[in-house]
C-alpha cells in the first residue's frame, strides 16, 4: 500500500505509519530511505539548500521513527513484554569521509547516525533494534554522482547495483539480526563493512585547576604537529573499501 505524503512533514509521517498499521494490523519494520541532494560548496550553499536536505533526510528519519516508536512502545506495554520491531536508517559515506561538496548532506547523514544510536538505546527494552547503513548504489538520486562510473558489459552485475544493498536491509530487518543494534555498516559491490565506534586517541589533563590557553598550546600543539595533515575525524579511507 502506497502513501504519497512527505516524510519531512511531521503529520504526514504519522499518517504514513498509521496507514501501515491500519492496513496490516501492526508495524514490524521501518526502513528510512527518503532523500534528496542539493550539492554545493559551503561558501556557495543557500539557506534553502541547507534546510531542504536536512529536513528531508534528518527530520524525515525522526518523524517516521517517532510514530513507529510510539506504536511499538504501546504494543509492548499492552503485551507486558518485548515486541518485534526493526529500524533500518540510511546514512552515507559522505558523513564518514566528509564530502567537501555536500556539507548539508554529510551533516544530515551524520545526524542520522546519532539518531540511530540514541534510538537503539531507547527502544532496546521493547524488543526493537535500530541500525544504520551507508550504501553506495546507482539510484535516481545518485545518477549524476555516479555518471562517470560505467556499468559493466557482458551481463555482469553492476557493482553499484541496489541489489548489493537490499539483502543487508533484509537481514537487519530479520529475526537473525536480533543481536545487531546501534550499528553502522557500509555496503556496496558485494561487500559489507562494520564500522568501529569512535575511540579516544589522546587525553591530556591540566596540571592546575583549569586549562589556560598557554597550557593547551603546550600540550596539544605538539600532538597535532606529529599527525599527518589530512588525518581528521573523517574516515576518508572508507571510500577505498571494496570486495576482496
Residues annotated as part of the active site = 92, 105, 109
Q: How far apart are CA 58 and CA 108, in angstroms?
A: 5
Q: HEC string of 124-152?
A: HHHCEEEEEEEECCCCCCCCCCCCCCCCC
Query: Is residue 58 a contact partner of residue 108, using CB atoms and an 8 Å limit?
Result: yes
Question: By C-alpha distance, which of 213, 225, 237, 239 is closest to 93?
Answer: 239
- Which phi and psi (to 5°) does residue 49 adopt? -65, -35
Q: Could you tell me the three cell numbers for 112?
A: 542520522
DSSP 8-state code for residue 59: I
Burial class (CB in 10 A: 0-12, 13-18, 19+), 217: exposed
Amino acid at each position: 500500500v502506497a502513501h504519497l505524503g512527505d516524510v519531512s512533514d511531521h503529520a504526514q509521517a504519522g499518517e504514513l505509519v498509521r496507514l501501515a498499521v491500519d492496513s496490516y494490523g501492526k508495524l514490524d519494520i521501518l526502513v528510512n530511505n527518503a532523500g534528496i541532494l542539493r550539492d554545493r560548496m559551503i561558501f556557495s550553499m543557500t539557506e534553502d539548500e541547507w534546510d531542504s536536505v536536512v529536513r528531508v533526510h534528518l527530520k524525515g528519519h525522526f518523524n517516521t521513527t517517532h510514530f513507529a516508536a510510539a506504536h511499538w512502545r504501546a504494543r509492548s506495554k499492552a503485551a507486558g513484554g518485548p515486541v518485534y520491531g526493526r529500524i533500518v536508517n540510511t546514512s552515507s559515506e559522505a558523513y564518514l569521509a566528509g564530502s567537501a561538496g555536500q556539507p548539508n548532506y554529510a551533516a544530515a547523514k551524520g545526524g542520522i547516525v546519532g539518531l540511530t544510536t540514541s534510538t537503539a538505546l531507547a527502544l532496546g527494552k521493547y524488543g526493537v533494534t535500530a541500525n544504520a547503513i551507508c550504501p553506495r548504489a546507482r539510484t535516481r538520486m545518485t545518477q549524476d554522482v555516479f555518471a562517470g562510473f560505467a556499468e559493466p558489459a557482458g551481463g555482469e552485475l553492476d557493482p553499484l547495483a541496489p541489489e548489493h544493498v537490499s539483502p543487508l536491509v533484509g537481514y537487519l530487518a530479520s529475526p537473525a539480526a536480533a543481536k545487531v543494534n546501534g550499528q553502522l555498516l557500509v555496503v556496496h559491490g558485494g561487500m559489507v563493512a562494520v564500522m568501529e565506534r569512535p575511540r579516544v586517541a589522546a587525553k591530556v589533563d591540566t596540571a592546575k585547576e583549569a586549562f589556560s590557553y598557554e597550557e593547551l598550546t603546550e600540550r596539544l600543539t605538539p600532538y597535532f604537529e606529529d599527525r599527518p595533515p589530512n588525518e581528521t575525524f573523517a574516515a576518508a579511507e572508507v571510500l577505498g573499501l571494496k570486495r576482496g
